[in-house]
Amino acid sequence: MDAITLEVARNRLTAIADEMEASLLRAAYSAIVKEGLGASAALFDHRGQVVAQAAAIPIHLSCLVPAVEHILRLFPTREMADGDVYILNDPYQGGTHLPDITLVMPVFARADLVGFATTMCHHQEIGGMVPGSLPPNATDLFQEGLRIPPLKLVERGRPVEPIVAILRSNVRVAAGTDSVAFERWHSSRRAKGLLRRDWEVRADTGVAADRLSPGAIDRRTSNRRARIASRER
C-alpha cells in the first residue's frame, strides 16, 4: 500500500473514532462525561491491533489494548456474531479503576469480522462501600465496587438479561447506568456503520483491508524513530 493511500485510509478511520467519541460526549447525561470528558473511543482491526484512536484520555486508550486482548483470549472470533457486545472493568484484565467500564463491539462487513469499536467510559456509580464508587479509605478492590470480568453483555443485538440483572442489582442508581449504556450503544452502533462502510469501499476499490493495520503501525514506528533520531542529533 502506497503512503498516500495509507494516510487517507488512516485519517478516515481516525475520523470515525473521533465521531464515536463526539457522539458519546454529546449524548451524555453524566456531568463527568459531558463536562469532564471522562470517556474515550478507539477502533481495532480483526486481530485486536489498534488502527485509530480518538483524541481522548491517554490512560483509557492505553488500557483498551489489554482489554481487547483479554476479550479475544476468552471469546474466539469465530464464535462472535453481528450485534454482540462485550463488557469489562476488571483492573487486572484491561481496566483502570472500577467506575471505568469498557465496551467492545465486533464489526462485521459482508459476513467478515473487520474490526472492533471500543469505548471506555466513567460511570458515576458501580457499587462499593460509598456512593459514587470512589472510596478514599478503601483497603482492597472489593470495597470499590462491582468487579466485572470479560463478559458478553449483548448477544446478536439482544441484552443478556442475567448479566444486565447482576449489573443493575449492584449499583445504587440503576437508571443512571442504563442511560450511560444507551449513550454508548448509540455511539458504538454509529461507529460500526461507518467502519463497515469504510471496509466495503476499500474492498471495492482494491485496497486490502487486512494490510491497513500493519501498514499504519509500520509507518507510525518509522515516524517515531525518525523523530527520536532527530532529537538525538
Q: Average pLDDT, whole number, for the chain?
A: 83
206-225 tens-digit pLDDT: 555 555 565 566 666 777 78
Give the pLDDT score at 141. Answer: 92
Q: Between 204 and 55, where is the model more confident?
A: 55
CA 60 to chain centroid:
9
* CB neighbourhood size of 214 (10 A): 13
CA distance 122 to 138: 19
Percent of the chain scored above 90 by pLDDT? 32
Query: For residue 2, what is the DSSP state?
Result: -
How confident is the model over 136-143, as a mean pLDDT? 92
pLDDT at 26 over 90: no
Query: For residue 143, what is the DSSP state?
Result: G
Q: Between 69 and 173, where is the model more confident?
A: 69
> Which residues are bridge partners to 105 per DSSP?
117
pLDDT band at 153 (very low <50, low <70, confident <90, very high): very high
How confident is the model over 135-164, as a mean pLDDT? 92
How confident is the model over 31-50, as a mean pLDDT? 87
Domain holding 211, by residue range, is 3-232
Q: How many domains does the chain have?
A: 1
> Which residues are bridge partners to 43 per DSSP?
52, 117
Q: Are 147 and 133 in contact, with CB atoms under 8 Å apart?
A: no
pLDDT at 116 over 70: yes
How confident is the model over 115-135, as a mean pLDDT? 89
How confident is the model over 15-27, as a mean pLDDT? 85
pLDDT at 7 over 90: no
Give the pLDDT score at 200. Answer: 64
Percent of the chain scored above 70 by pLDDT? 80
